[in-house]
Structure 1
Amino acid sequence: MPPIQITSTEQFNSLLTSSRFVVADFYADWCGPCKAIAPVYDSLSTQLSRPNHITFTKINGDQQQALAQAYFVSAYPTFIVFENGRKTQTVQGADPRKLNEVIQKLASEATKSDSASGQAGEGSGSGGIWLGAAVPRGYSDITDQIDQKGLELLNRDSQHGLPKTLFEASKPSALAGKGKAGEKDWVESDTDEQLMLYIPFQSTLKVHTLHVTSFPPSADDAEDPDEVPMRPRTVSLYTNRSHVLGFDEAEDTVAVQTIEIKPEDWDSKTGTAKLDLRFVKFQSVTTLVMFFVDGDGDSDKLRVDRIRIIGEAGEKRAMGKLEKIGDEPGE
């Protein structure tokens, strides 16, 4: 099938979540090299497109400037390959050989992946990045910017998941219908309901929204009916700290923002609450501390299944004057 013309950021973000592989062609109507390579790109799209698996798109950078800025497009044409919503490769310029090489390799990897997974169904974790809530227009899931080696989680019950479990790309087992089978892919607090999570990033971020997913079991399904874990209620956020805060230290430190999650904020289908941040206060974030202060109930246990970071990765760069790659000076 021919490439899909992107007319909004929301449309593109939807494709990133519904299709495992997405190829984006950033172009401009005035760009000669863009027009020259368009038949090659269209041909690859016709040959290799597969619904919900490999999707080819075309993005007019002049009309969709928010997307061009979000992915740091500085020249036309620029081709970007995404896998599971993450940018994996960029081809800049009208180079048919290079473009064909990259996309054929993508198709080969997709085929191998299908054979290995037996075309696993939704909920298996192999079909793409799971998101518990919609991504705000103009922003993207930047959870992959986390430096997982530096994660710290205080007061974690060791019988459950590790800190990195919170940022896994797979759908939570509670939602996928796996119940208690297999590894426990969530975290719970230990001695009381509080958790302190330290998140370092690989680059400076602009953080717009946080998605917090929590699936506490019913009393009938809980391992210990007397200690049914709760969903988080109060979350305090601290930015650009060089280390994890102690609980006493956090209570004596003014938070950048404290959010109260109300019962109606939790999506009934995905178990996810969107934490809208005061964006102006989260413009240059290198580390984030999330202090889960209390839960929605009287238990001594708090449960968190997934966390997603939504915003912009890297320093925001001005678009400036875009080059037409492939044209010689003076043409």
Structure 2
Amino acid sequence: MTVHNIETVSQFKETIAKNKVVLLDAFAVWCGPCKAIAPQIAKWSESEEFKDKIYFAKFDVDHLPDLAQDLGVRAMPTFFVFKDGDKVDDFLGANPPALLNLLKKNTPAEATIENTSQATDDSHPTATLPRTDESTKE
């Protein structure tokens, strides 16, 4: 696996729709911390622990400002985890131990990525995370 570069909003939408779990890195080419953590992310994308379970992707916030705004990016790097097309987690900053914990927390038990053209199909069941907002309180 590798870290895939997202060039368009439609490519982003396709990526999160076709892959069971996606780690998305919102970065900027001028961002020092982004440059510092990029080699570690690339290493994790190739590791046995994650390579067939998490699809690693990134996008340049300066090239896709609308996507950055839609996702609520306020600083770089910001990482998002998508499961079955839904944003389930995010993390701000270039902190390798904390990011590794985020990856481990969101790694499925079994392989979900066969290759980049057949990431997942639509037959996988989905689950909704419990909400703690006011609408669910009694």
Gapped regions of structure 1 (runs ≥ 5): 115-120, 130-143, 150-331
Q: Does 1:82 align with 2:82?
A: yes
Report SS of the residue matched to 1:74: coil
The correspondence of residues 138-157 of structure 1 with structure 2, limited to 5 A, is none
Cα 1:29–1:113, aligned 2, differ >3 Å: closer, same or farther?
closer
Gapped regions of structure 2 (runs ≥ 5): 113-119
Deviation at 1:113, TM superposition (A): 9.0
List, as ranges, runs of 4+ consecutive aligned residues in structure 1 with deviation greater than 4 Å. Answer: none
Deviation at 1:54, TM superposition (A): 2.2
Deviation at 1:106, TM superposition (A): 1.9
- The 2-side partners of 1:74 and 1:97 are apart by 21
TM-score, normalised relative to structure 1: 0.34
- The 2-side partners of 1:42 and 1:54 are apart by 12
Q: Which of the pair has the greater relative contact order for Cα pairs under 8 Å at 6+ separation?
A: 2
Deviation at 1:105, TM superposition (A): 2.3
Q: Deviations over 1:5-47 (max 9, x none)?
A: 0000000100111001011001101110111111111111112
CA RMSD of aligned residues (A): 2.6
Report SS of the residue matched to 2:26: strand
8 Å Cα contact 2:25-2:57 kept in structure 1: yes
- The 2-side partners of 1:8 and 1:25 are apart by 14
Match of 1:111 in 2: 109
- The 1-side partners of 2:70 and 2:87 are apart by 11
- The 2-side partners of 1:73 and 1:4 are apart by 19
Match of 1:58 in 2: 58
- The 1-side partners of 2:40 and 2:31 are apart by 16
Aligned length: 122
- The 2-side partners of 1:148 and 1:92 are apart by 27
Q: Does 1:2 align with 2:2?
A: yes
Specify which structure has the higher proportion of helix. Answer: 2
Match of 1:49 in 2: 51
Report SS of the residue matched to 1:76: coil
Specify which structure has the higher proportion of strand. Answer: 1
For the pair shown, which has the larger CA radius of gyration, 1 or 2? 1
